[in-house]
Amino acid sequence: MPGEIIIAIIAVIILILIFSNIRIVPQTTEYVVERLGKYRATWRAGLHVKAPFIDQIAKRITIKEQVLDTPPQPVITKDNVTMQIDSIVYYHIFDAKLFTYGAVDPIFALGNLSATTLRNIVGELSLDETLTSRDIINGKLTVTLDEATDRWGIKVTRVELKNIIPPAEIRASMEKEMKAERDRRQTVLEAEGHRQAVITRAEGDKQAMILAAEGERDARIARAEGEAKALLLAKQAEANGLKALKEAGVNEAVLELKKYDALIQMANGKASKLIIPTDAVQAVKKNVLFTETTGLGDVTPAGEDDPVPEAEDPCCERFETQTE
């Protein structure tokens, strides 16, 4: 019996030792295992068993991406302006062995390296370049830190400048410069607007004058076309009348009478002088001679004989003289 108890006790002790040395490594975590103080292996996610008493877990490391927020650092620019700059470093551990044995405190070393590298990069830039070249500074910081931390098992994926704080007097000057720039832009915009308004108004006046000239031109053309058409119609009417008279076979006497009618209409009782063409005078003379010869057309009434004055009575005259 005592032997069985001893065996059971030994079995229990063995089971306790086995279960106490079983380790389950979670995802995104790595264990660095040492045997007798020397690196033995790196355990990744899964079930692992270590040798009791001689193996120990030296470091538990997460391989997820982490963020290092460095405090503000005084940095002097190329034009001797001191300002405060702080940055954020994004990194992850890609080799647990290098991270464990590469540096005493790799994260502290990464923060100091980030500060010194930032001073070196900004020291080559002026104030304006520093304020406007964040992407360039971020890229240079990322490349430099990634190369320097490879032997520590750290992969730097990204570096961002968080704050750039110039001195108070520089900020006041920048605010004044910004206000002056905004005033200048406002003045330029107002001048540009006034210029555009003047140009637009001039273009409008020009178009109005062009349209008015075109309208006057079109009106004159329309009036001229109307007058020409009216004259053409009048001439056509006259030609048609003459053609009708010719077809009717009128003689020269009728034509002469038409001429007289035309002369009468021309005078119309208002003309003080009337200029008669030579052919019309000759026609009138012929007509008068014909009338006097034949007696036709003579409608002038015969004039009465002049009355014979009566002889005065001398006796009456003498009588009137004596009476007076």
Tell me which of 29, 62, 95 is where a domain ends.
62
Asked if residue 150 and residue 77 are part of one domain, the reply reads yes
Angle, vertex CA 268, rays to CA 264 and CA 274, nearest 5: 65
Answer whether residue 91 is part of any domain.
yes
**Domain total in the chain:** 3
Asked if residue 155 and residue 73 are part of one domain, the reply reads yes
Domain of residue 28, residue span: 2-62
pTM: 0.54
Tell me which of 225, 251, 269 is where a domain ends.
225
Q: How far apart are CA 244 and CA 221, in angstroms?
A: 34
Residue pair 101/39 in contact by the 8 Å Cβ criterion: yes
Query: Tell me: the pLDDT tens digits for 31-77?
Result: 999 988 899 999 898 888 888 888 888 899 999 999 999 888 889 88
State whether residue 155 is helix, strand or coil: strand
Answer whether residue 181 is part of any domain.
yes
Answer whether residue 205 is part of any domain.
yes
Q: What is the DSSP string of 75-105?
A: EE-TTS-EEEEEEEEEEEES-HHHHHHS-SS
Asked if residue 197 and residue 152 are part of one domain, the reply reads no
Answer whether residue 116 is part of any domain.
yes
Query: Tell me: the pLDDT tens digits for 131-150?
Result: 888 889 999 999 999 999 99
**Which stretches of the chain drop beneath a pLDDT of 70?**
1, 242, 245-246, 248-324
